[in-house]
Amino acid sequence: MNTEILGIVAMYGIVLLLAIPLGRYIGKIFNYEPTWADKLFNPIDRFFFKMGGIDDKVEMNWKQHLGALLTINLVWFLLSMFVLLNMDWLPLNPDANPAMTSDLAFNTSVSFITNTNLQHYSGETGLSYLGQLTLMLWQFISAACGMAICAVVFMAMKEKTSTTLGNFYSFFVRSATRVLLPLCIVVATILVFNGTPMTFGGKDHITTLEGKTQDVSRGPVAAFVAIKQLGTNGGGFYGPNSANPMENPNYLTNIVESVSIVLLPIALVFALGYVLKRKKLAYTIFGVMTLGFLLLLLPTVIGETGGNPAIDNMGISQNMGSMEGKEVRFGAVSSANWATYTTCTSNGSVNAMHDSFTPLGGATTLLGMMVNCFYGGIGVGFLNFYIFIILGVFISGLMVGRTPEFLGKKIEAKEMKIAMIIALLHPFLILAGTALASHLYAGNPEAYAGWLANPGYHGFSEMLYEFTSSSANNGSGFEGLGDNTPFWNIATGIVMLMARYLPIIGPVAIAGLLAAKKHVPESSGTLKTDTSTFGFMVFAVIFIVAALSFFPALTLGPIAEYFSLYQ
Amino acid sequence: MKNNIIPAIRLTLFCALFFSGFYTMSIWGIAQLAPNQGDGFVTNNNGQRYHTNVAQAFTKDQYFWPRPSAVDYNAAGSGGSNKGPSNPDYLALVQSRIDTFLLKNPGIAKKDIPAEMVTASGSGLDPHLSLAAASIQVKRIAKARNVSEIQVNQLIAQHLEKPLLGLLGTEKLNVLQLNLALDKLK
């Protein structure tokens, strides 16, 4: 058990060692400062713009940025629908897998372009290799899209008064080629050398030692896994994601994949410090996020290592902790650690089945997604946090009786209205969705019997988790839920769409509005936002808005299950 | 919106070429340098190929059994049970696995059965056992093969994989490699 704890400490250490220099590098890329890699990437980027017919020097205002983002996302959606509905006759289908139904194709397309990667299909049987490679494309470019829009907000937070905020396509391409691509090549290389498959051959047919036949699914797995970890995507090549020993063969790959989950979300916070030349602000934000992260990590580890009390009662030994749905090569501690990483960052990949977690682990993974900004998704995690900063500034301003300002810009009614709508959207989507599903189920349990794999409180948690994961653009699941039905495909599809684009539009609008305002120089009466006092203020706002609004729902699910198990 | 459509389509198509095509082929190229050329880890034994990383179903008494699988060791449709900790059907299943295990392994105390031996793994393909889960099967295997328990225990000691660098993660044993070694005994 001690080596297991040491394992997760080492992982977080590696994250910090890499995230700080990487943050500087990303900051330089957003600032168009020269880096060592320019010789290689300048020609590549120019080729991208040439092929796209794009003038990357044209400055855009915030509305033009959003226009460019939404248009290109629409193109992705349409192309994705085409491929998923026609996989059966398109090339690269050695296992002769069928095309998707239209509601499943809608859900899957939305899920991948919104960086969610909720999967209502199983990769081995539900997708051709062309389908996998198409989804992998969205994994790259939806992550790059998140980084690009984060860059736009960074630009808007600079002191000068301005209406133009760089070029969207330029940020987008630079993020994809200069950050995601090299990292993915490194991670994929480590994976293939540790036994992750990377082949275009179909299933392998094996005769086992006892003489039975066994088909083993393969494919271009390593390339796919690298970007799904690094881009906070999370959609696995195989059904059980990184619990599958092909996708995540040993403890070393588990370290690499775990680090990849949180690396870019944390690096982007340090990039903010570099871009704005406000290191202290970046460390304050990082501190608040890390405090929240640790408060979620600790109970998860305690819950999972403690084992299942109902199994304790059977009189067997649970030295490894709760092992249902977990793998021996990772153990309970690094499974709990992964679960916390993946739900805090909206990644959604798993190396253990969350549905079989103890109630404590189930509650913390849910809470991580409900807050959705303790690191958060790539780019968009910071946008969520930005909303809470605006709320924190406003409430602090009211408390001290001054007009609220953030980084020298006055926050007025218009910005506050947008911030409030976005802050309340997430609880609304989750709670309304879960209420609707529960209502349908309660009204006719026989008709919807296929939905829930578990009875009682845990069954409710399965529905709550599905909507939370959709709204957090996370993509992990309590996978016992029978979710490939028109209701779940369409309902979660709509939730994912709203939860992706509105929380991008809102913060960009606020940042754009603030950027155009006159800069007010700091005075002795200015509320300082880079202090621990303000950090605690923001933490309190997050706790009240995000955590407490979900408390009643959590009580009906994991908390009730906890008290029924630990009597 | 209108003047964004054409660039969006062209950029997307080029991205497809670059990331789905060029990136994937580069990784495929790198994989050709890796052991087994991107086929996963494959063990060759007496002309047979086995995937070292994928659990096989072992049911005979003379082999080490892997952890239970919710998908019956289907490596083309892997998955966990997704049963919650309080589910009565699930708990009954675990109880029946304990009873079966005790029946097939006479002389074993119930309190020594490690939970990982009666709970399904996340992928249904967990290729590993913990030391406790392997040791508890020694008595049965030695009897079925008519070898001494010391010999089987020696195999376990030889195949025990220490944590990474001796410091990080869990200790474990690969079931397939143990069983291949068992067949070579005597």
Residue A475 has pLDDT above 70, yes or no: yes
Q: Among the listed ranges A72-81, A542-551, B102-111, which one has the minimum average pLDDT value?
A: A542-551
Q: Among the listed ranges A62-71, A202-211, B90-99, which one has the minimum average pLDDT value?
A: A202-211
Helices (H), ranges, A520-559: 532-542, 551-554
Closest chain A CA to residue B115: A318
B57 vs A208, A238, A318: nearest CB: A208
A323 and B27 within 8 Å at the Cβ level: the answer is no
Provide the sign of the torsion angle of the four alpha carbons B72, A320, B156, B140, taken in this order. negative
Cβ atoms < 10 Å from Cβ of A2: 9
pLDDT digits (tens, 9 = 90+) for A193-206: 998 999 888 888 88
Joined tokens for residue A348: 């959604």
pLDDT band, residue A242 (cuts 50/70/90): very high
Render B38-83 in DSSP notation, one character per residue.
Answer: GS--EEEETTEEEETTS-----STTS------TTTT-TTS------
Joined tokens for residue A220: 């271009």
Span B21-44, average pLDDT: 88
- Are the beta carbons of A28 and A181 closer than 8 angstroms? no
pLDDT score for B186? 66
pLDDT score for A122? 82
Instruction: State how far the Cα of A350 lies from the Cα of A368, in Å rounded to an integer.
Output: 14
Q: Is A237 in a helix, a strand, or coil?
A: coil
Closest chain B CA to residue A50: B11
Cβ atoms < 10 Å from Cβ of B133: 25
pLDDT score for A209? 87
pLDDT score for B2? 66
Q: Among the listed ranges A206-220, A350-364, A498-512, which one has the minimum average pLDDT value?
A: A206-220
Instruction: State how far the Cα of A525 lies from the Cα of A454, in Å rounded to an integer.
Output: 56
Q: Percent of chain A, pLDDT > 70?
A: 100
Span B126-136, average pLDDT: 94
Span A236-254, average pLDDT: 91
Instruction: State how far the Cα of A374 lies from the Cα of A546, in Å rounded to an integer.
Output: 11
Instruction: State how far the Cα of B103 lies from the Cα of B94, in Å rounded to an integer.
Output: 14
Joined tokens for residue A395: 């409430």
Instruction: State how far the Cα of A291 lies from the Cα of A304, in Å rounded to an integer.
Output: 20
- Check: pTM over 0.80? Answer yes or no: yes
Q: Among the listed ranges A103-117, A199-213, A252-266, which one has the minimum average pLDDT value?
A: A199-213
pLDDT digits (tens, 9 = 90+) for A390-399: 999 999 888 8
pLDDT band, residue A260 (cuts 50/70/90): very high
Residue A313 has pLDDT above 70, yes or no: yes
Instruction: State how far the Cα of B136 lies from the Cα of B130, in Å rounded to an integer.
Output: 10
Q: Percent of chain B, pLDDT > 90?
A: 67
pLDDT score for A64? 92
Residue A155 has pLDDT above 80, yes or no: yes
pLDDT score for B131? 93
Residue A132 has pLDDT above 70, yes or no: yes
B78 and A124 within 8 Å at the Cβ level: the answer is yes
pLDDT score for B132? 93
> Cβ contacts of residue A355 below 8 Å, gap of 6+?
A325, A453, A454, A462, A477, A478, A479, A480, A481, B80, B82, B83, B84
A241 CA: distance to closest CA in chain B (Å) = 8
pLDDT digits (tens, 9 = 90+) for B88-100: 999 999 999 999 9
B115 vs A240, A249, A320: nearest CB: A320
A71 and B57 within 8 Å at the Cβ level: the answer is no
pLDDT band, residue B56 (cuts 50/70/90): very high
Q: Is A471 exposed, middle or buried (0-12, 13-18, 19+ CB in 10 A)?
A: buried
Q: Is A127 in a helix, a strand, or coil?
A: coil
Q: Is B42 exposed, middle or buried (0-12, 13-18, 19+ CB in 10 A)?
A: middle
Render A427-493 in DSSP notation, one character per residue.
Answer: HHHHHHHHHHHHHHHHH-TTTTTTT-SS-HHHHHHHHHHHHHHHHTT-----TTS---SHHHHHHHH
- Please name which of A382, A216, A352 lies closest in space to residue A288, comparing C-alpha atoms: A382
B128 vs A204, A328, A461: nearest CB: A328
What residues of A are in contact with residue B5 (Cβ under 8 Å)?
Answer: 71, 75
Does the structure's ipTM exceed the value 0.85? yes
- Please name which of A311, A381, A392 lies closest in space to residue A343, comparing C-alpha atoms: A381
pLDDT band, residue B65 (cuts 50/70/90): very high
B84 and A454 within 8 Å at the Cβ level: the answer is yes
pLDDT score for A221? 92
pLDDT digits (tens, 9 = 90+) for A418-463: 999 999 999 999 999 999 999 999 888 888 888 888 888 999 999 9
B76 and A125 within 8 Å at the Cβ level: the answer is yes
Report residue A229: phi and psi, to 5°. Answer: -80, -45
- Are the beta carbons of B66 and B175 closer than 8 angstroms? yes
